Amino acid sequence: MPESRQHLSVSSSCRSNSIHSSYGRPRPTDPRRGETVTVKTFRRLPAIALAAVAVITPVLAGTPSQAATLQADEGVTAAEKFGWTDALNREDNFDTLDPAWGLYDGPGHAGNGVRSPEQVGVQDGILRIDGTEDGTTGGMAWDEGQLHGRWETRAKYTAGTSAYHQVLILWPDAEDFPVGGEIDYSEVSDSERQNLQFFLHYGENNDQVQSETAVDMTQWHNYAVEWTPEHIIGYVDGVEFFRSEDPKTLPPRAMHPTIQLDWFPEDGEAGPGSMEVDWIRQYTL
């Protein structure tokens, strides 16, 4: 098992170098995130603070050699490993760009750059989101969601500038962040895409629980989250690396998945970014 580190952000209402900010999907009441546009036809276009931190019991423990990159389990899905497959109720293999996805069209995260539908494309069964060096990027939301369930996504993240963060999210249907919660079940901000992070946002102060583990995300991996009335668990290739059983951290209402390539110009040098997704699957409990 890989070595995993988990922390509780006790107060996190604003962003600094040590604070994770909400990524979120576009909300009409929040101009930082822009609006969405539902696409019915598609043409592929080229594109190139925290007051205190308390350490809680790690989800996983292991030796440094065990914390390598999870290559031994590459290709394993949590759904197969834990018997979710019969509860599949929705999937997208990205043979085309399904109009059920709402593509973001407006200002980028925190007003940085622009989110444009033209940066999102499907080719040869792979979804790709590209970001330019000046912050024109993309994201998409799969409405409507469900209360509790399991989600798994096969994705690969291109190495490059740390100004681009690739992130897979569960976002509240009610658009009531932060009280409605946010689950970032696969996120990376380091330029080499080697440090997988999980962030669970909760409460009116945007408090957070987080975990991280070593994974080579420039290769294909399967990222999953299980959300029940009792817990939230994060997996990569069927290996658990995050768990929260604290009732106050669990989202109160239905959530839906989003796929986002977000631009943080203060986090790295100018340069392009990209992410690819092979499939996404949703399961009931």
Q: Which DSSP string do the residues of 223-248 spell out, in sequence order?
A: EEEEE-SS-EEEEETTEEEEEE--GG
Tens-place pLDDT, residues 113-146: 999 999 999 999 999 999 999 999 999 999 899 9
Tens-place pLDDT, residues 29-81: 332 233 433 332 222 223 222 222 222 323 333 333 333 344 334 489 999 99
Tokens representing 48? 């190139």
Cα separation, 100 vs 32, in Å, equals: 23
User: Residues 246-251: what's their mean pLDDT?
Assistant: 98
Tokens representing 210? 């987080």
Sign of the Cα torsion 111, 168, 171, 22 reads: negative
Contacts of 12 (CB under 8 A, 6+ apart): 19, 20, 49, 50, 205, 206, 207, 208
Specify which residues 156 forms β-bridges with.
Answer: 276
Residue with tokens 């994060």: 234
Coil, strand or helix at 41: coil
pLDDT at 163: 96
Tens-place pLDDT, residues 69-79: 443 344 899 99
User: Residues 89-114: what's their mean pLDDT?
Assistant: 95
pLDDT at 62: 33
Residue with tokens 């200002």: 107
* Residue 266 reports pLDDT greater than 70: yes
Q: If pLDDT is split at 50, 70 and 90, which confidence band does 281 have?
A: very high
Tokens representing 234? 């994060």
CB 275 within 8 A of CB 129: yes
* Lowest pLDDT segment from 14-23, 41-50, 211-220: 41-50
Cα separation, 164 vs 207, in Å, equals: 23
pLDDT at 22: 53
Runs of H (alpha helix) within 59-199: 78-82
Q: If pLDDT is split at 50, 70 and 90, which confidence band does 175 have?
A: very high
Q: Provide the pairing of β-strand 120-123 with 164-172.
A: unpaired
Cα separation, 238 vs 221, in Å, equals: 10
* Residue 272 reports pLDDT greater than 90: yes
Cα separation, 7 vs 130, in Å, equals: 31
User: Residues 73-94: what's their mean pLDDT?
Assistant: 92
pLDDT at 76: 94
Q: If pLDDT is split at 50, 70 and 90, which confidence band does 20 have?
A: low
User: Residues 218-245: what's their mean pLDDT?
Assistant: 98
Coil, strand or helix at 254: coil
User: Residues 264-282: what's their mean pLDDT?
Assistant: 96
> Which of 226, 256, 261, 244 has the alpha carbon at shortest distance from 155?
261
> Terminus-to-terminus CA distance in the chain, angstroms?
26
CB 173 within 8 A of CB 253: yes
Domains of the chain (ranges, CATH numbers): 4-20+36-283 (2.60.120.200)
> Which of 217, 211, 209, 183 has the alpha carbon at shortest distance from 197?
211
Cα separation, 112 vs 8, in Å, equals: 27
> Which of 147, 152, 185 has the alpha carbon at shortest distance from 167?
185
Enter the pTM of the model: 0.79
pLDDT at 75: 84
Cα separation, 259 vs 270, in Å, equals: 22
User: Residues 146-158: what's their mean pLDDT?
Assistant: 98
| Residue 207 backbone phi and psi in degrees, to 5 | -70, 160
* Lowest pLDDT segment from 1-10, 26-35, 225-234: 26-35
